[in-house]
Amino acid sequence: MPAGAAAAVLLLAGCSSAPPGEEGPFAGQEVRWRACYDERQVGELAGWGADAAWLETLECGTVAVPLDHDRPDGTVLEIALIRAPATGPAEERLGSLVLNPGGPGVSGIEMLDFPYFGDEVRSAFDLVSFDPRGVGESGGFACGDRYVLDDAFRRVADTDPEDLTDVELQPLEDAARRYAEACTEAVGEEFLAHLGTVNVVRDLDIVRDALGDERLSFVGYSYGTHIGALYAEMFPANTRALVLDGAVETELSNAGIALDQVAAHQNTWDMFAAHCAAEADGCPFAGADPEGGGADARMQELLAGLDREPAEVEGIPVDGETLLQMIGMELYHEESWDYLAALLGALASDDGEATARHLGELYDNTFGKYEDVDPEDVDPRLEHQDANAVFTAVNCADRADPEDVAAYRDAADRAAGLSPLFGPDLVWEQLPCAYWPESEEAPTGITAPDAPPIVVIGTVGDPATPYAWAEELADQLETGVLVTYEGAGHTLYGKERSPCVDRPVDAYLLTGEAPRSGLTCPRA
């Protein structure tokens, strides 16, 4: 973590770090930038694959915002920022390009540990990212026992959701309610009520002002597209250029979102299975009828075999549930599909040595390096607990959700029909929202009619943010322009995966000229 991080939540009344201005008491701030990492931290991060020279350029700071924007004299939060200064001549720079990596709950500070974008964009812009309120160094928190909740979900996993009785649902309902109550007790109802995206957007406009930018240039990935679209709706006059990659749906309940995502996971899985059968020697899905669910059935056999006799990675057991979790995460990364296919081929052929080797590579890629970590020193149940808490808190704050557990049971039943592999889990995870404190929900019906052109990027095989959502958002935004990538994976701009996408979007950020409407790029 960056050195010298300031306390994220200041329990102050009637004061702020900014002088009064025409736009309110938080306008006119000046960010005090400092080096993010000391020599020791640079060395540690470089050991994990980061570039030491890049890390040494990074600068960190904070901007003050009110917890409740309607009560600017109340509690004040500190929003943590990070920037990589532009590399080009001062006279050719275009200001800041603000980034959000998604989530909600993903740290924007950690995002910039690695470079993004090409030389032209990095030359022209200071790359700036931030931890939104409630995330990481901007008041990140943990609450509740997520694994009591997960255990309750797991106990009903083998039962068809439509067959679950009220008695069988009661423990799941109780666990979800206790989780919501524990979060409220841990961080306070007022804090949870103000974590929604509408307040993140208000914070972002204060950040824009503090950076000295008259208008915002922004790249948002996944959940970050919600931030960007809502910013254009609320602050069109302050908008310069927005790239929204992996658009999220903004109208549905969280259970409805989960149903769309289950279908998207299945779609991407089908794309992978077809790729495996066509390209990989020994693929267990060769000859299987994808329309008839042949790959699904074969995969379920492999998962059941691991449940009977788990494999091991450096002493860590990998059962069917763990492998399916790894597969779900690897569907996000089209470039790793050949490794995944090789693992499944080895597993299907009972090649223990090759299975162990490929499984180690996949485990490393999915969960991070494990070679120097004693498994006894790691409680995997606590991994990303903060991110999970924020993810739930923001989603529950943003959307109107049903309060009857039967509505979630019905949605889980529909999910089971959409995907035999990925099924109801995504729906059950939304259940705490039935018991969440009231909040200011994010506005719906976003059209941003007064904003300049906005670029929306959609990937046909995106497992997390279905391509249909990108189509919907581009159509919904009056100035939206859709760019389509025909491959798979979750978000791609600026990651050197598709020059066909990167080049016109780079030009848009640099000049304001949007790509031609309907641009479609083939799989790289």
Say which of 209, 296, 462, 502 is annotated catalytic. 462
| Alpha-carbon distances, residue 310 vs 236, 302, 318, 352 (angstroms) | 54, 11, 5, 12
Interatomic CA distance for residues 198 and 364, integer angstroms: 37
Say which of 96, 138, 222, 419 is annotated catalytic. 222
Radius of gyration, CA atoms only, the chain = 23
Residue type at position 179: Y
DSSP at 377: G
What distance lies between CA 38 and its chain's CA centroid? 28
Nearest to 417 by CA among 266, 255, 252, 248: 266
DSSP at 426: H
42 token code pair: 């640079």
Complete DSSP assignment for 447-470: --TTS--EEEEEEEE-SSS-HHHH
Interatomic CA distance for residues 244 and 465, integer angstroms: 12
> Which helix (DSSP H) or strand (DSSP E) does residue 395 occupy?
helix 385-398
Whether 490 is a known active-site residue: answer yes
Say which of 96, 490, 502, 506 is annotated catalytic. 490
Compute φ and ψ for 359, nearest 5 degrees.
Answer: -65, -40
- Measured at the CA of 280, the angle between CA 279 and CA 286, to 5 degrees, comes to 90
Q: How many CB atoms lie within 10 A of CB 511?
A: 10
Whether 462 is a known active-site residue: answer yes
Q: How many CB atoms lie within 10 A of CB 282?
A: 16
Crossing angle, helix 254-279 and helix 467-476, to 10 degrees?
Answer: 130
Whether 419 is a known active-site residue: answer no
DSSP at 515: P
Interatomic CA distance for residues 63 and 77, integer angstroms: 8
Q: Are strands 59-66 and 9-10 parallel, antiparallel or unpaired?
A: unpaired
DSSP at 133: T
Burial 134-162 (b: 16+ CB within 10 A, else e): bbbbbbbbbbbebeebbebbeebeeeebe
Interatomic CA distance for residues 206 and 211, integer angstroms: 9
Interatomic CA distance for residues 462 and 186, integer angstroms: 35
Q: Which amino acids are annotated catalytic?
A: 222, 462, 490
